[in-house]
Amino acid sequence: MAMSPTGVNRLVKPVCNPNRRECQGERLTESNDASGSMASTPAESDLLVTLQLNSNPEALCLVRAAVGRATELLHFQDRECRAIVRSVDEALANVIRHAYQGKNGLPIEVTCRKWQGNDNGSPTAGLEIVLLDSGIALDPASLQGRELDDIRPGGLGLHFIKQSMDQVEFSRNHGKNQLRMIKYLVPATAQAKPEGE
């Protein structure tokens, strides 16, 4: 799959309903339109934390801790907090393994912001997480993940991200890979049944 003309590949499309169960099963899709609800600007967002780390697997626990606190700060439900932390961790592991091909000591930046946008016309709040790395350009087709019925080691990381986040976009700009993920903040009363049940 070639990169879209806009340089943006949407891995999980904005959903019609923030109910997570309706987000499941989305496939890697390529978008020619970067004007969707992902297009909030920094002016609309509040910075929570920026982390600069090296591509060292030992650093992942530090990011998990920081992102976990950010999710608590925004009052996500416990299960959602774990899902967001899992998504960031898996995305970072992919950067280390694939973009940096397992090499340690290379730069990664993780930024968390409060997010305000529209979900199908309705004002929606949430958490935006952006990962930046200077690794090799990834072939979006390689980001498909595998079918779950194919029981074998590997290929689950992207599946976890797609299951957990409401919007996921990959882009390549100025020699850097950018993965942008958004999780909507859903009121507790509107929470779906737990995933997998």
User: For residues 126-185, which are near other proteins according to CB under 8 A?
Assistant: 148-149, 151-157, 159-160, 163
Residue 196 touching other proteins (CB under 8 A): yes
**Closest approach of Cβ 155 to other proteins, in Å?**
8
**Closest approach of Cβ 166 to other proteins, in Å?**
16
Report yes or no: 92 and 108 within 8 Å, Cβ to Cβ: yes
User: For residues 54-73, which are near other proteins according to CB under 8 A?
Assistant: 57-58, 60-61, 64
User: For residues 75-94, which are near other proteins according to CB under 8 A?
Assistant: 79, 82-83, 86, 89-90, 93
* Nearest residue to 89 via CA among 114, 60, 49, 52: 60
Closest CB to other proteins among 164 and 171? Answer: 164
Q: Residue ranges of the alpha helices (H) in 59-116?
A: 60-73, 78-94
CA distance linking residue 34 with residue 10, whole number of Å: 9
**Closest approach of Cβ 147 to other proteins, in Å?**
10
Report yes or no: 121 and 50 within 8 Å, Cβ to Cβ: no
**Closest approach of Cβ 101 to other proteins, in Å?**
14
* Nearest residue to 46 via CA among 124, 122, 118, 125: 125
CA distance linking residue 170 with residue 180, whole number of Å: 6
Report yes or no: 11 and 160 within 8 Å, Cβ to Cβ: no
Closest CB to other proteins among 79 and 114? Answer: 79
Q: State the DSSP code for 79.
A: H
Report yes or no: 108 and 55 within 8 Å, Cβ to Cβ: yes
Closest CB to other proteins among 152 and 174? Answer: 152
Give how many residues touch other proteins by CB under 8 A. Answer: 30
What are the residues binding other proteins (CB under 8 A)?
Answer: 57-58, 60-61, 64, 79, 82-83, 86, 89-90, 93, 96-97, 148-149, 151-157, 159-160, 163, 194-197
